[in-house]
A = this chain, B = another copy of it.
Amino acid sequence: MVAPVTAALLIIGDEILTGRTKDRNIGYIAEYLTGIGVDLCEVRIVPDVEAEIVAAVNALRTRYTYLFTTGGIGPTHDDITADSVARAFGVAIDVDPRAVAMLRERYQPGDLNEARLRMARIPAGADLIENVVSKAPGFRIDNVFVMAGVPAIMQSMLDTIAPTLKTGARLIAETIEAEGLPEGIYAGGLSEIALAHPLVSIGSYPSFSATGFRNQIVVRGKDAEAVAKAVSAVHDLLRRLKGDGAPI
């Protein structure tokens, strides 16, 4: 059995906490990591405050295989992620010649002012993560990956990072439509199935629209046979409850 590979995600930025910017990175990263066999176990959103970033980085990097961060690596005064990560690791931070070389692909020497050089500040010992969109790199230090907050840039950085990651068994998720059955009717039977199939986790997800509730049951697990058995049990349950199979 492949050992699980876990991850946390840290979203950094006042703009998310004030609601000014609606996050589009969490869902993308969650789906992406799940798809490659990395289990996202926790997400936090913190403001542009160094002590908060340092505390969250240290809490999360020590607990999970990987920590990914987004946001706060631009040229303005509120971009304090690199300095905060350096502090979290207790390492020095300075303008990195490799990062300057990357910025030179975009900026003429005269345009590479102090603010833009801020984007080349990289903690000692970090490896750079290429940015094909706007050149200012992200970086990896130990098990922490620091990425941009702009979705297009973050997504390309994640594509660069993914092949370097350890991965575990991929989560298999099967979705079953409850087709009109209310949660309260199948909940008892579903609970019994969950108990009888300890290798899978089963979730029930109602959504609500103008046409009323729609319920979906999701069976998740890393053992294909165990998932298939539980899915089959759920189908049997729904059939019985709809009355076109054997009575309960």
Which positions in A face B, CB cutoff 8 Å? 11, 13-23, 26-35, 40-48, 52, 74-78, 107, 111, 113-116, 118-119, 133-134, 150-153, 171, 173, 175, 183-185, 187-188, 190-191, 194-195, 201-208, 213, 218, 220
Contacts and interface: CB of A to CB of B under 8 A. Distances in A.
Nearest to A13: B203
A76 B26 contact: no
Contact of A133 (B13, B22, B31, B208): B208
A43 B15 contact: no
Copies of this chain, count: 2
- The dominant DSSP class at the A interface is mixed
Given A32-B19, A207-B150, A76 B43 contact: no
A46 to B, nearest CB: 6
A140 to B, nearest CB: 22
Closest 7 CB pairs of A and B: A19-B31, A115-B187, A19-B30, A22-B27, A77-B191, A43-B45, A116-B184
A41 B17 contact: yes
A45 B17 contact: no
Contact of A153 (B33, B45, B185, B208): B208
